[in-house]
């Protein structure tokens, strides 16, 4: 996985369940890692995509640590498992990635 200098700082907006998150590519280590920083929305977070060689392809993982931002998000976090919601959403992301790669003949 090679990258261009302009890839660093790339931003994406994610909207789900009436909430919006903004993330930014904060670091790229060629061939095995992309670090993300969540810079907007109801959470602040750091996350990392890692890529490892695996039998028959590449193993892709995503890890995140986040904290609610502001009093409303802090209150909601006492009743809503944001981690579980995030795991479910990322499961859909990985399912979509797998389906896309299968269409390309790469999965």
Distance CA 87, CA 95 (A): 12
pTM: 0.72
Distance CA 86, CA 80 (A): 11
Residue 39 has pLDDT above 90, yes or no: no
Mean pLDDT of 45-65: 89
Burial call 56-74: b when 16+ CB within 10 Å, e when fewer = eeeeeeeebebebeeeebe
Which token pair is 48? Answer: 């990392």
pLDDT category at 50 given cuts 50, 70, 90 is very high
Q: What is the pLDDT of residue 33?
A: 93
Residue 2 has pLDDT above 80, yes or no: no
């Amino acid at each position: 996985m090679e990258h261009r200098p302009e890839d660093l700082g790339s931003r994406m907006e994610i909207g789900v369940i009436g909430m919006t998150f903004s993330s930014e590519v904060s670091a790229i280590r060629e061939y095995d890692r992309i670090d993300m920083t969540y810079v907007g929305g109801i959470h602040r977070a750091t996350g990392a995509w890692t890529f490892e060689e695996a039998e028959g392809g590449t193993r892709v993982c995503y890890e995140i640590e986040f904290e609610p931002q502001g009093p409303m998000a802090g209150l909601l976090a006492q009743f809503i498992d944001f981690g579980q919601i995030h795991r479910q959403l990322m499961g859909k992301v990985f399912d979509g990635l797998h389906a896309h790669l299968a269409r390309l003949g790469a999965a």
